[in-house]
Structure formats: C-alpha cells, structure tokens
Structure 1
Amino acid sequence: MRFDPFQGTLPLHPARRPIALALSSMLLASCGGGDSSGGPGASSQSLLARGGNEGPMQLRTVSNRADLISGGDALVEVQAPASMIASGVVQVTLNGTDVSPAFVRQGEDRLLGRVSGLREGSNVLEAAFRGGPAARLEVTNAPRQGPVLSGAQTRPFYCATPVPEAAHGTTPATNGSGLGGPPDANCNIPTEFTLYYRTTAAAGNAPGQCSLNLPDPVWNSNGITGAIPPQPAAPANPCWKPYTVGSTPADMASATTAAGLTVPFIVRLERGTMNRGIYDIAVLFDPAKPWTPVAPQAAWNAKVYYSFGVSTGQPRRQARSTIAWSGLEEQLRRGYLVVQNSMTDSSRNSNRVMMSETVMMMKEHIVDTYGRVKYTLGTGCSGGSINSNMNASIMPGLLDGVITTCTFPDSETTAMEVGDCTLLVEAYQKMRATPLWSGLPQAQVDAKKAAINGHPDPSGCHAWFNAFGSNGKAGVYLQRVVANAAGLVVTLPARTNNCELPNDAVYDPADPAKAALPRCNAWSWAESIWGRVPGSVAANDTRDNEGVQYGLKALLSGAITPEEFVVVNEAVGGTDRDSTPRAARSSADLPALRTAYRAGIVASGRQLANTAIIDMRGWDDSNITVPPGQVAGVNPIPIHHQWYSFAVRDRLVREAGDADNQALWRFASTGLTPPGTMFLDGLDAMDQWLLSLVADTRGKPLAGKVRDARPASTRDFCLIPGDATNTKVFDPAVCDADPFLRPSASPRQVAGGPRSEDILKCRLKPLDRADYGAAAFSEGQWARLQAVFATGVCDWKKPGVGQQLAESPLSFAAGPGGLPLPDAPVARRK
C-alpha cells in the first residue's frame, strides 16, 4: 500500500503486516556477501535470480545486480549440475569473447570468476555446455566515474592534482590527490598500491610514542583564495612506515586476527577514484602470496568496515576523505578491510543518494577485487552518523549494521533544527533592543531562550548558528556569527561561499550578471535528485516553517508571556531560496517534499528496521551546563543533542512496530567519546549480531531476522554521570531521571511537533483561542498573532505535506523525483 498524504494519517506498525518490500529493499543485500544460498548475506542479484533462471544452467553476477554494475568488471557465478562442472567444458563468453579462463571451480556445482572488459551500457554474458544447455544474462555497466542511478552529475567539478595548484582567475585551487597520476576529464586517476607496516611503538603524544596520523601527506583546504599552504609532511615518528617487500624491519609489529591467525602487521593500501571521489582501501596483506577475489588471503575476515566522514558540505572540488585509515589499527588488526571514499565523506558530499550510490560502487569493487563479503558495518559520528543512517534508508541492505556516535537521523530533518535555531538567534538579536527583554537580567533572558529552543541553555542554538547557519547560502555571502554568550550577532568582513570556489565564479544574489553561475547549497548540489523550480535556476528544496508556533509549549508552561510569544513569532520570519532572511515564513517545494520521503532521504523507520543499530549517545546538549567529568566550554559546538537518538527510535516504533533493532547505549561524562572499552565492546557485540544474521537462511523478512539475531550483550543501558564504577544501568526510568541522560527537545518540538522530527512541512489549521489554555491574549495581541499566521498554524495531529512511506531504493537516471528500481535482471535460457 502506498501512503497518500491527502487521505488520512500514516498507517501504524506496517511491520506487523508482511512488508511488501522485505526482499526488494535488500537492494544489494551485502553486495556479494555470504554464499549464494539466498541468506541475508547473499547478494541481491543471487537472491532474486535464483528462481528466475530457466533450465539447469544458471548465471548471475555476485558483486551487484546485473543492471547496476560499474567500473568495467564483475564477479560472476555459474551454477550447473556437478557432472557438467566436472567435465570442464562449460564455456563463458562476454559479448561473444571467450572469458572461460577467468573461472575457477567453487564446490561441485559452481564456477566463479572475475569478468573484465565490460563496455559502457549493455553487455551480454553467456554460459553454455557443449552447445547444449545455455544461459544468457544482460549486464549493464556504468563508467567508473559514475553515475549509476543518482542522475546527472553536478558540474563544474574540479579534479584533484598530484601537486596542489594555486587558484588563477575564476579557476579554484586544487587539492592534492595523494596519487601520482594526473586526472582525466572525469576526475579518474590511476589506482596505486602501497605497503605499510605497523611499528612496535605505542601510539600517543608522549616522547618516543608514534603518531597515527596518515603516513603520507594529505592536503585538504578551503582553497578559495589563490594562496597554497605548505604541503604537510608525514609525521616525524609515524606509527606506519613504508614496507619494502622481502625485508624484516626490526620495529615491525605482528597482528593476531579475531580468528587467531598471527601475521606480520603489514597493510596494503589501495588508493584510487570511484564516482569522482578519492578512496582508500586498507587490509592486512602478505606480499609473498597472491590475492584474487576467488581465493582471498586468509588474514582478511571477509568483513568490511566502512567509515563515513563528519560535518556536511557540498564543495565543487575533488579531495581526499577526512577519515584516515591509519587510525583504524584495531579494526585492521582484527582482519577487517577498512574503506573510505571522499564522496561518502559528509563534509565533501551532501548528496545522500550519490553517497549511497558510491557505497554501492565501492562494495562492488571490493567484491570484484578482494572476494565475497560476509557483512558490511558502517560507522560514524555526526555527519558520519547521518550517512550511516541515510544509507540504510536510501539503499537498505548495503550496510548490514551500523555503529554510530553523536547520532543524527538524516540531513533534511536535522536541517530543521539548524534553520529554526538560525532564525531564532536572529529574532533574539532584534529583541535585545526592545523593552521586552532589554531590562531583564541576562540569566532570565537565557532561560526564556532555552525554553523556546527546547535546550538546556542558548549555547545549542548559538552553536548551530555559527557552525551551519550559513550552510544553506546559495551564493556569495558575509558570514554572521554569535560573538558572545549573550547572543550578540556580528557580521564578518570577508565574503565567502560554500562551493570552495573563487567568489567571482559562483552565484551572487546581489549581481544579476552572475545569476546562472553555480549555486552552492546542498539542494543545488543534488539538483539531479530534487529538480529545479520551474522557470528558475534554483533547485527545489525542503525548508519550511509556515504555521510553526515557536515557543508554544514555553507559553503554555508559563516560561514566556503571551507578549513574548507574539513578538518572537513576529520577529522570526523565514528565508528565501538563497537563505536570505525575510519577513515571510519559508515555504518548501512540494516536489522536494515528496522526493525526500519516497527516496528515504528522510530516514525511514521501515527501512531502518532492516539494519542492526548500536547507537552510543553521549552528552553534547550544552557547553555551559555540563555533567560530572566534563569541563564547561571544552566543546565549542554543542549540536549533537540527545533527543536525536530518540527521534530514530520513534520512527522505528511508528513504522516498524518496535525499535528492537536499535541498541541505545547512553553515557554523558566523557562528552561525545564513548568511555573505556565501550566502542570495542560494541564492535564485538555487532560482530556477534551480524554473524548470527548472515547465518540465518530462513525465508523470514529481514527485519524479523535482524531482531532474532540480536545478542543479549546489546541490551539498552546507560552509565550514570559521576559514577566512577561505570556500572551499567538497564532500567530506562532510572536513566531518564538523570538530567544529563534525559533527552531535551528542539524548537520544532517546543512548537508542538513530534519528537520523531520528520514533518518537514506541517498541515495547517485555523487559530483557535481554546488551544492556548490559561494563556490570555489581549485583543491586540490576538490580532497580531492572526496577522503572523494568516493561513493557519500547524496541525501536528496530521501527517506532513508530501509525507509518505519510503519506496527506496529509487533510480534518478531518468530525472529528478526518481523511479522505483525494476526487478533485477535474471539469466534466461538461450
């Protein structure tokens, strides 16, 4: 059933019915993971093709669906009766060329081989036995630079170069690629392989200790001006040193994997480009032995550890990822293959469909190059948590599990708090000079702001304003920042933009001659997803605050007066498409709203229900009020508020019936960093969870299997701040009673919205005095309120405008808005 937002409310608990998308939502369930038995670790192509092959000869791509292949190669499996395989005369051809030598026998009835040389577009794979039984499979291959399904790539986009180059004219400075070869026109750079070994030195900052910073120089800068900073050098005492084949360095450490295999701690780093991003893949490696996707080396545990970068941004310049493989030595030691790509680094790419597509392409490359994957684990904090959760919602099945810290559900709904805080900070700036607040003690004013914001104090909204309040600016702008704790806002003198391009090369709202130049907000960066506003060069976007009654619950509780309630709603206003403040409220575009929900860009509880989640939630609600163990003011940007984890939980409960796939581990004293061994404990627990999951070959829907596989060690708990023993508390009521573990709220929730925070644009209802309880408005105040909300106020009992259940994954190859993927291609009898 598809939800029609104009016909009532969202259906409750659809997971208690058979989920129609239970199999198709496993788009690429672990892309080549597991065996071909059709379990949750098996590739979607294997899973869906099994029943569709005709006759005794079966043919399937293992690394991805046959219509979503990229990069020119694919791991392919042929299945036939054991007698045929034993005879050794099964022939496999690609576009009429014999590729049989690439195949190796796998068991009695299977052949497995990496097929290279796929041309862009349609290809034909055939497997035949002496001119008798034959199978034919059409394979569609996209280029290595993409796209596959995210639609037309945004241009201009400036490639990284071997050596950073200074800006000249309207051409920006380039980032250093970390690769020796030059980029081609599509930013493809030849892949390089480097060996490193881990030294025996302990990592740290004390004398004699080594640095886990990258052993090779990295260069990432804003590069907006023509100046080129010096290329940073490798650490003076690196923990990782280049390894020479055949040598035995005296300071080389050994690694004992989780399987008990002890090997020299040598890592092979593969660096290359995929989907215009620069990637690193690192894994334990024995240079004296071969490695093929058919026969991987034994030190690899067949598990993938995918790290997503923090923050968010949409620069038009290719760069390295901000995540360093060298800091993941524990994961490498255990046998994980660790991977990053700058197009899955949130600071380098805010197009979440393209981000998910990049994960798909990277996983396919890993299977094609390294072998089948048991499971894939996604991790990240802040922007990394956004990508972890959005990947599980936009293309469920790419990640089997996620471990997140400082969690946000997704970027669109997080942007609501950013936008609300930005508008409120500016409104408070206006109110500073009014008699309403000018004579009050600052502490009293701060308490009123906190009550409207839903935060412990104003520092949360101040942090959003400073860190991301200008991220939606489409063109050149002057940055405004909160300059002190009292909320004074000042304008910085330097003009800047969010594209990382010279100011003269981007859109300028003040210069009509530059109207068609690149726009620098997230919606224009992802124009292939959102589409353009008819008759405009601006992209559709989801920002909206029409009908939002800021401070409603603060009014009802008596924290603010009716006059303050009216004044703040008069002052708050909205923004236009350029993020320029205006008196009128912001209004979202209906096509963008529909796309956000259909595509899973608003993280869907139903889609997230298919993924094992461990959420480690620390304290970052304030830098003024802090729990025992923290020092006030240490974290200058307290934006990772605790309620976000509960927003994910609420979406799961509403759309999937329960949140039993989400483990919530709360702590506060150590800020955002999990204390002690918590993260490694989570890694162990998630490993147990996912190994149980991939071993479950029942035909039960995936969401149910995720819940069945959950180990007792992932039970929800909290650590009470100030408890030096770090004793786990399993009673949620005790946890919630602690002021530093109890979630606060957001401006939109104080305005009456749900904690799930997934209504981008509310439906409206007329103003009604009966809704305000004991709050008494004068006739003049009521008339002013009616003027502010001439079209009505939010009716939070109804679903949002355009809100509907996710249909993801969608393909945007045919244009913005997206279309559901067709059934995966299957081999047919020739």
Structure 2
Amino acid sequence: MKAVVVLIMLASLIGYPTPAYASRADLALEVLSSRPDQVTGGDALVRVRQTGGAQVRILRNGQDVTSSFTRTGDGLTGLVTGLADGDNTITAVARPRKETLKLRNHPIEGPVFSGAHQYPFLCKTERGGLGPPTVDNQDGQGMRVTGGWSRDCFAPTVKDRLYRSTDGTFKAMPTEGPTEGPTERPADMATTTLLDGRTVDFVVRRERGVINRFLYSTAMIEDGWNGRAIYRFDGGVAIGHDQGTLGSGALDPYGLGQGYAILHSSGTRTSTHYNLILGGETALMVKERFIEQYGVPLYTVGVGGSGGAIQQYIYGQNLGDRVIDAAIPQYSYPDMVTQTIHVGDCELLERYMDHDPRWARWDDRTALIGMNASDTVANPYTGRAGSDECVNGWRGLTPLTMNPLWTSNDDPEWERMDPPGVKDTVQWTHWDDLRNIYGTDERGYARSTWDNVGVQYGLAALTGGVITPAEFLDVNAKAGSWKDSADMVQEGCPFVSTACPADFDPWSARNADLGDPAPRRAGDPIAIRNVQRSGLVFTGDIDIPVIDWRHYLEDQLDMHNAHQSFASRQRMLNHDGRAGNQVIWFTDARPDGPRFEQTPEALRVIDAWMANIRKYPARGVTGNKPPQAVDRCFATDGTQIAAGPHVWDGVLDRRAPGACTQRFPLYSTTRVVAGGPLEGGVYKCRLQPVDRAIAKGLYGDWRPTRDERARLKQIFPTGVCDY
C-alpha cells in the first residue's frame, strides 16, 4: 500500500496522466475512503475500474485531475483533492463511455450526520502536543488564544518519528534538523519481530491532528506495516463539552510491534463523551484519513475495553464493516444507554439498605441488587471491610449522569473559556449530552428515559425464600425514585469536597423522591422512542467476527459484571436466532487481580478468521471460524481450562452447567432480580394489575393476605411489571 501512495504522489508531481488501455471501454467509479455522500476534508481516494481499450480521463467538477491517478490492478487509483463543501462530481471518460459519481463533501470539523455541534467545547490541543487551537472567531466565544478565540478547537497536523526504548517507553527520534533523518541509531533502541518474521528497529511514524473537533492519531512502524489496522477504542464515562485527550492505546506497543497500524481518537473514548452517533462519525472520519494516505487495509480490527467494547458492538451494528471488520470487545456491555436502567437503582437501594439493620451483612445485598457483594472487600467510603458492586463499581454515576448541576470536569482550561461563566450554563447530564437524540421538554431540559414504575425490587429473592413478604413490601415502599432534572439540587459530600465531612450523602438522597410509599418515576415516552430508534441501543444486528474477552473480576466487585457478555449474545439471538459470529472468552483474575493478557491470542485468531473470510467469502463469517474461534475459558496464567460449544451451557439455556459456567459464577442486576430478562434493555415495562399478578402466581408460594394485597396496590397503584 505504501508503494501505491508513493506512485500517486509522483504522478501528481510529474503532472501528466498515466494512461490505461484495455479491450473495451467499461467503467466503474468508487470512493475507497468513505461513502460518496460522507466525504470529509476536501479529498477522497477514488478508484476507476476499467476493462476496455480507451484512454481514461478523470475530471473533478469538470477539471482534469488524471495526473493524480496511477495504475493499480484493473484500473486507476488516485487521491482527489480540492473538493468543495457540498456537492461535487467525479467523471471518468473513456470514449465512448462516460461515468459520473456524485460526492458530498463535509468540513473536516464536521458534522456529517451527528447533528449540530455541542457548545461550549473545551479545547485540549495543547495537552495533545499540537499547540494552541486556531483562532476561528472574534466574538468572545470559546477558548481565549492569542489573536482571538477558538470555538471549534482546530490545530495544524503534526507528524513525528518515535522509537521504542529498551526501557519500555517511546522517545522522539533524534534528528539533524527539522526534516533530516536520524544522525545515529539511539543506543537504547529496541527491536521488534513483525508478523512476517522480520526483526526490525522499533521506529514509529506518527501523525496527530484534529478531525471532527477531536484529537486523532495514526501510527505505524516505519517500513514494516503488515497491511492490517487496529482501531483502539477507550472507555470511561463523561458528559461531553470537551475535546478530550489521546489515550495510551494510540501507541499500543504490541500492535505496533507486530506491524499493525494503530488508529485512535479522543472522540472515540467514552471518557470524553458518550454520544456514540458522534463517536461513530468520528471513527469513520479518522479511518477515511488513514485510507487516503495509505490505502485500504487488509482489515481493521477493533480493540478496547468497557466503553471501548460498547463502541465496537454499536459501530459494528450501525456501520457494518465501514469502521471495523472484526471486534475484540473487552469487559463489554451491549451498550451504554440501557445500563442506565439498572444503574439508576443502585443508590436508591443502597440508601435503603444502609438505614436498615437487616442489610448490615453485605453478602445479603445481592438479594436486592443482583450484583456481587462481599463482607471482606474493602469499602472506599467507610474504610472498613464490606461492600458491593453498586458501591465499589457504580457509586458516583448517579450524580454524573443525572444531576444537571454537578460535574467532575474541573479542568483548568475552563478558566480560559468565554463568555465568563459559560461552564455553568451546561446541564451536566447524560440526557443533555445527547439532547439532539433524547429531545427536550417544555422547560428546556433534556428528556430522560429512566423509569421504575411497577418495578418490584427483590422479586426473585422473595420467590426464592431469601427475603420475607414483609421485607419485600418494605423495600418497594421505601426505595423511591429520582427527581426531575429541573428539581435537582447540588450534591453533597463526597462529590462536593467543600461539603465534607458534615454533609455526607453518597446516595444523592437529596435528589431522590422518598416517602412511604415513595413515588415512582415514569420515563419520558418520547425519549424512550427516540433512543430506541437512534442506533444507540444494541439490538444484536451485527455480522462481523467478535471475540468478547474479559478478565473475571466479580470477586473484586468490579463494575464490568461478567454476565454482560451473555447479554450481548442473547440480544443477537433475539435479533435473528444466530450468534455464531461471537465467541466469549474469560480469563481468571482470582485472587489477586489480572495477570495474563489474552489480547495477543485474540488478535492471532482474528487474523486467521479474516484470512479464511478472504479465501472463502461464500462461507460467511460463521462458516469461516478457525478452530480457536470457539467459546473458551482460561486460568489465571492464560492456560486453557475448557473450549467448545458447550462450555457456557446453563447460562442462556437450561442445560447442565458447562465447564466454564461452573468455574465462573455469574451475577445479574436489580432489574433481573425484579423479573426482567438477563439481556436487559427494558426501559418501561408493560404493567399488569396486582390482582392479575397474584392470580398468575407471580409471587411463588406467597399468597398475600387482604392487608398485604392492599399494601401492594398502595405501592403500585398503576400495576406491577409484566416482563
């Protein structure tokens, strides 16, 4: 591919066209770098396929650009530059045939399809090593810089060369001057062995810049690209209004050392924002930039954990193979937006349990929250032994995603943002970050999907005999719900440090609707409809190779609960009855945390899988699985425990538990305990009258007395969930 780029550059410099001749003038035009209607940045890599006997001329909006093309295989390939914003035409003429392709070009700062830009938007180009952002207005809007203000945070592209040191770090290559090569080989330069077996100096060419207002990076080993690419996605949780920074995965030493190109963007890190429509758009634009420079990769595989895993499922669903051809989601969830359903329950139930001696034993709390709990794991909020996943894994997510007045974004760059006080104009909620999807209500607040009307907390614990009917009624009467955004107040300790220690409120109880019985909250039907149509919900419609891998972290009360891999699989089965393109791998991390990294093996299996697909395309994705592309589980040192189609039996079916199922116990969520499906995703349940639920035997052996029946109706006046 590198040779193709060099030839294109030479043809452009020489200034005359490279003719192509064949027996008949049959033509076809295609854009290799993007969809024709989603070109960005004023350029596109175009291919002219020809079988015919006439010389080809290529025109951009009527101007001859044939000199930018060179012969490649059965046609011509060239980088067409100078495209105007909006509609353009590329025409190939080979007498007597003429073919025209319409392109639509969008600015490099976007948007393409994600909707209006979000403001204010905090620039981070200086942190990213690109220097101050470019002045784009004199209206006092955005970040103050010399000569004016920057609202959209653009900065010039920077290219550099790095080497991997024997101490495990990347360092700048020494040079004689701004453009000359290295004066001598650094004494501490490491070497690496590529996929093809060659051992070379570990020298990396890197490009950084701004695409779609986010920082991006592309990197590959010098003179050693293996033709494959890894797109590194990152996780975290954030509410946007920020350019973000590049993660360490931008210089993934394993991938680079094997010869992969590494693509990365701050806009595809969920620690920057969680608008995955915007994230998908950004990923397309970054890959477009890469293809324009180096050509189409043999394939691109996604790698990334948590929010980085979610992105792979969502982009694989929404964009097919346009961003990634294969996926290695790690510590995955099916999506983010449906996690808000059960995570919103956590602090309501924690507040209730913390104020009732019945729940002083932490191990008991799994009965209500579904997730793991432990009497021995340290609690970061009490400093004592005893905690659960709601506390250790999810505490802080309620104010972060639901309270418009609270944000964890205290970056010093805000001091340079104008107009003064602009940060305080932001409604800091997940709903507002995606207000162009959820919509806004009559008061100007983003609509919210969160709903717990009819949800019977602890139902499975009741029917299983773990809690009594009196305890079941009490928790459902007192758990409560959340206030509307417009009615919330600022958080207390530990989220606002100046409120500590006196105003301790880790449950955000001041923003809960409480009582006896406490009111429940109804999700906005417009918000629910909009998000379900948006593509942000993973529905299981994905047809690329997927190796879903995670360390088993349940004993650490980690937020990445292990059942989520199977939630994705069940959604795939719900979609079309098939999930053969997804395999699930667990690696043990007990007792002391992760020790073995399974990603290199996953990359090798993906490489074999993709090679089979290229060789036997008619067999499809599932029909091309190599022997290692099966469900598997591994010991702490990475050695295989079991593999095959039945190792996870008993998770999504009623078979006897398989070898991996027995080794790795799974937990659930508050909504699964309340009777919902393992795969989650039910924003608002269908309701049934209490009397009907009793008649159907929903409560197991419990036969409510007249007073208990009346209490149920008082707690659930509109009925209970019928999942």
TM range (shorter): 0.7 to 0.9
1:527 aligned partner, one-letter code = R
Shift of 1:281: 0.9
Shift of 1:105: 0.7
1:454 equivalent to 2:370? Answer yes
Shift of 1:735: 4.7
1:497–1:503: 8 Å Cα contact kept in structure 2? no
Aligned to 1:523: 431
Aligned to 1:13: none
2:453 aligned partner, one-letter code = E
2:44–2:292: 8 Å Cα contact kept in structure 1? yes
**Out of 108, 112, 120, which is 2:77 matched to?**
112
CA 729–687 in structure 1, closer or farther in 2 if over 3 Å, else same:
closer
1:161–1:182: 8 Å Cα contact kept in structure 2? no
Query: 1:215-614 residue pairs with structure 2 within 5 A?
Result: 238-244=169-175, 245-247=181-183, 248-286=185-223, 299-326=224-251, 328-397=252-321, 398-429=323-354, 432=355, 437-438=356-357, 440=358, 442-443=360-361, 446-457=362-373, 459-477=388-406, 496=407, 517-533=425-441, 535-578=442-485, 580-582=511-513, 583-605=518-540, 607-608=541-542, 610-614=543-547
2:122–2:414: 8 Å Cα contact kept in structure 1? no
Q: Secondary structure at the residue paired with 1:408? A: coil
Aligned to 1:9: none
CA 183–339 in structure 1, closer or farther in 2 if over 3 Å, else same:
farther
1:655 aligned partner, one-letter code = H
Q: Secondary structure at the residue paired with 1:196? A: strand
Gaps of 5+ in 1: 1-53, 166-170, 202-209, 212-237, 287-298, 478-495, 507-512, 624-636, 699-703, 797-830
1:120–1:140: 8 Å Cα contact kept in structure 2? yes
In structure 2, what is the Cα distance between the partners aligned to 1:90 and 1:246?
Answer: 42
Aligned residues: 626
Q: Render the CA deviation track for 1:711-763: whole Å, top value 9, x for unaligned.
A: 11122122367x99654354335656766612111110000000011212211
In structure 2, what is the Cα distance between the partners aligned to 1:724 and 1:198?
Answer: 26
In structure 2, what is the Cα distance between the partners aligned to 1:498 and 1:670?
Answer: 34
In structure 2, what is the Cα distance between the partners aligned to 1:182 and 1:450?
Answer: 56
Q: Render the CA deviation track for 1:311-356: whole Å, top value 9, x for unaligned.
A: 1112312231233433x11211211110110110011011011111
1:547 aligned partner, one-letter code = G
Shift of 1:385: 1.1
Shift of 1:97: 1.8
Shift of 1:794: 1.2
Shift of 1:676: 3.6
In structure 1, what is the Cα distance between the partners aligned to 2:93 and 2:343?
Answer: 59
**Out of 783, 788, 794, which is 2:715 matched to?**
788
1:654 aligned partner, one-letter code = N
In structure 2, what is the Cα distance between the partners aligned to 1:725 and 1:365?
Answer: 40
Q: Render the CA deviation track for 1:187-217: whole Å, top value 9, x for unaligned.
A: 2211010101122x2xxxxxxxx24xxxxxx
CA 515–160 in structure 1, closer or farther in 2 if over 3 Å, else same:
closer
In structure 1, what is the Cα distance between the partners aligned to 2:466 and 2:107?
Answer: 59
In structure 2, what is the Cα distance between the partners aligned to 1:323 and 1:411?
Answer: 23
CA 262–316 in structure 1, closer or farther in 2 if over 3 Å, else same:
same
Give the TM-score of the pair, scaled to structure 1. Answer: 0.70
Q: Secondary structure at the residue paired with 1:385? A: helix
In structure 2, what is the Cα distance between the partners aligned to 1:574 and 1:692?
Answer: 52
1:302–1:336: 8 Å Cα contact kept in structure 2? yes
1:614 aligned partner, one-letter code = I
In structure 2, what is the Cα distance between the partners aligned to 1:275 and 1:586?
Answer: 37
Q: Secondary structure at the residue paired with 1:83? A: coil
Shift of 1:539: 1.8
In structure 2, what is the Cα distance between the partners aligned to 1:680 and 1:78?
Answer: 37
**Out of 57, 73, 79, which is 2:43 matched to?**
73
Query: 1:35-50 residue pairs with structure 2 within 5 A?
Result: none
2:121–2:151: 8 Å Cα contact kept in structure 1? no
1:115 aligned partner, one-letter code = V
In structure 2, what is the Cα distance between the partners aligned to 1:537 and 1:562?
Answer: 42
1:729–1:735: 8 Å Cα contact kept in structure 2? no
In structure 2, what is the Cα distance between the partners aligned to 1:622 and 1:552?
Answer: 24
In structure 1, what is the Cα distance between the partners aligned to 2:126 and 2:423?
Answer: 33
1:384 aligned partner, one-letter code = G
Structure number with higher relative contact order (C-alpha < 8 Å, ≥ 6 residues apart): 1
In structure 2, what is the Cα distance between the partners aligned to 1:82 and 1:471?
Answer: 62
CA 441–639 in structure 1, closer or farther in 2 if over 3 Å, else same:
closer
Q: Secondary structure at the residue paired with 2:585? A: strand
In structure 2, what is the Cα distance between the partners aligned to 1:337 and 1:175?
Answer: 35
1:182–1:189: 8 Å Cα contact kept in structure 2? no
In structure 2, what is the Cα distance between the partners aligned to 1:392 and 1:672?
Answer: 34
Deviates more, 1:67-76 or 1:740-749: 740-749
In structure 1, what is the Cα distance between the partners aligned to 2:363 and 2:597?
Answer: 37
CA 376–586 in structure 1, closer or farther in 2 if over 3 Å, else same:
farther
1:551–1:565: 8 Å Cα contact kept in structure 2? yes
Q: Render the CA deviation track for 1:595-627: whole Å, top value 9, x for unaligned.
A: 33333311121x22x02111113222243xxxx
In structure 2, what is the Cα distance between the partners aligned to 1:593 and 1:321?
Answer: 33
In structure 2, what is the Cα distance between the partners aligned to 1:265 and 1:182?
Answer: 42
In structure 1, what is the Cα distance between the partners aligned to 2:568 and 2:550?
Answer: 12
**Out of 110, 124, 129, which is 2:89 matched to?**
124
In structure 1, what is the Cα distance between the partners aligned to 2:61 and 2:118?
Answer: 32
Q: Secondary structure at the residue paired with 1:416? A: helix
CA 499–125 in structure 1, closer or farther in 2 if over 3 Å, else same:
farther
Shift of 1:56: 2.2
In structure 1, what is the Cα distance between the partners aligned to 2:544 and 2:47?
Answer: 27
Aligned to 1:198: 164
Aligned to 2:665: 742
2:461–2:467: 8 Å Cα contact kept in structure 1? yes
2:89 aligned partner, one-letter code = V
Q: Secondary structure at the residue paired with 2:570? A: helix
Query: 1:87-236 residue pairs with structure 2 within 5 A?
Result: 89-107=55-73, 109-129=74-94, 132-162=96-126, 184-199=150-165, 201=166, 210-211=167-168
1:616–1:664: 8 Å Cα contact kept in structure 2? yes
1:728 equivalent to 2:639? Answer no
Q: Secondary structure at the residue paired with 1:618? A: strand
Aligned to 2:634: 719
CA 335–128 in structure 1, closer or farther in 2 if over 3 Å, else same:
same
In structure 1, what is the Cα distance between the partners aligned to 2:640 and 2:171?
Answer: 34
Shift of 1:148: 0.5
1:706 equivalent to 2:626? Answer no
Q: Render the CA deviation track for 1:483-526: whole Å, top value 9, x for unaligned.
A: xxxxxxxxxxxxx55686999999xxxxxx99993211122112
Deviates more, 1:350-359 or 1:310-319: 310-319
CA 375–161 in structure 1, closer or farther in 2 if over 3 Å, else same:
closer
2:239–2:433: 8 Å Cα contact kept in structure 1? yes
Q: Secondary structure at the residue paired with 2:672? A: helix
Gaps of 5+ in 2: 1-23, 133-139, 176-180, 374-386, 489-510, 650-656
**CA RMSD, 1 decimal:** 3.2
Shift of 1:448: 3.7
In structure 2, what is the Cα distance between the partners aligned to 1:539 and 1:468?
Answer: 18
Shift of 1:666: 1.7
In structure 1, what is the Cα distance between the partners aligned to 2:480 and 2:594?
Answer: 39
In structure 2, what is the Cα distance between the partners aligned to 1:591 and 1:671?
Answer: 46
1:459–1:622: 8 Å Cα contact kept in structure 2? no
